[in-house]
Amino acid sequence: RNADDSYVVVFTRGDIDVNETKLRNFLGCEIHPAVITEECGLNAGYIGPVGLPENMTVLFDTSLQNTNNLSCGANKEEYHYTGLDIDRDCANVEYHDFAKILDGGICPNCHKHSISISRGIEVGNIFQLGTKYTKTMNMTYLDSNGEEKTPIMGCYGIGVGRLAASVCEAHHDDYGPIWPMPIAPWQVHICAVRSDDA
């Protein structure tokens, strides 16, 4: 459901999950999972784009574009449609990107199955502050036309602890971290084997 507490139904290919951040950004409001009841006119497990109640926002993911002969729910318990062609069987269809990225998925730029997912560690952040602080400080500048403008502010954050953790994860053995020479706290570490015989 969206901020108005009305139903939003998103259709994707069966092997794809919806990216809630993409959906939230598209709708421009917060969303929360709906509780499907008989009163709403939906049947969990049998939802399809044909014959949905009119008071719902219906969205289609780009994974369904140029597809046909699909199977989907018939909005009636124990029933499904086959042979669905969305452009033929549904009115006013627009496709938008709501899908979570899949390993081996299609790149939106080169249109090849070239997406590769790798695990990463977040070591820094970018904060978009807008004009919140620059307005408070009455900060302005003159643009090329001589008009006074308020600058947009942003800042960067780097987690020193996260940087150290990422190095340890990449460079370690069974005994602990192996520091790369450029960031090692020392180049030589002398260990006293027998301190009682010094």
Task: DSSP for 58-97, please give it.
Answer: EEEEGGGTT--SEEEE-SSTT-EEEEE-HHHHSSS--EE-
| CA quadruple 60, 63, 68, 73: dihedral sign | negative
3-class DSSP state for residue 137?
coil
Q: Can you give the pLDDT at residue 144?
A: 95
Q: Measured between alpha carbons, how far apart are the two ends of the chain, in Å? A: 74
Task: Report whether pLDDT(2) > 70.
Answer: no
- Residue 96 is predicted with a pLDDT of 95
- pLDDT tier for residue 158 given thresholds of 50, 70 and 90: very high
CA distance 44 to 73: 9
Report the mean per-residue pLDDT for the chain: 89
**In the chain, beta strands by DSSP E:** 8-11, 57-61, 70-73, 80-84, 95-96, 124-130, 141-142, 148-149, 153-158, 172-173, 176-177
Q: State mean pLDDT over 180-184.
A: 92
The predicted structure's pLDDT at residue 35: 81
Residue 84 has pLDDT above 80, yes or no: yes
| Three-class SS state of 40 | helix
Structural domains of the chain, with CATH: 8-96 (3.90.960.10), 124-183 (no CATH)
- Enter the tokens of residue 156: 């960067």
Q: What's at 177, amino acid-wise?
A: P
Give the per-residue pLDDT at 9.
92
Which pLDDT score, from 0 to 100, does residue 141 have? 96
Provide, rounded to the nearest whole percent, the portion of the chain with pLDDT above 70.
Answer: 97
Q: Do the beta carbons of residue 26 and residue 64 sit within 8 Å? A: no
Q: Compute how many other C-beta atoms are within 10 angstroms of the C-beta atom of residue 51.
A: 13
Q: With residue 172 as reference, give the H or E element that holds it.
A: strand 172-173
pLDDT band at 85 (very low <50, low <70, confident <90, very high): very high
Predicted confidence (pLDDT) per residue in 3-14, tens digit: 677 889 999 999
Res 21: pLDDT: 94
- Model pLDDT, residue 53: 83
Contacts of 3 (CB under 8 A, 6+ apart): 27, 29, 30, 31
Q: How do residues 17-70 score in pLDDT, each as one tens digit?
A: 999 999 999 999 988 888 887 777 788 889 999 988 888 889 999 999 999 999
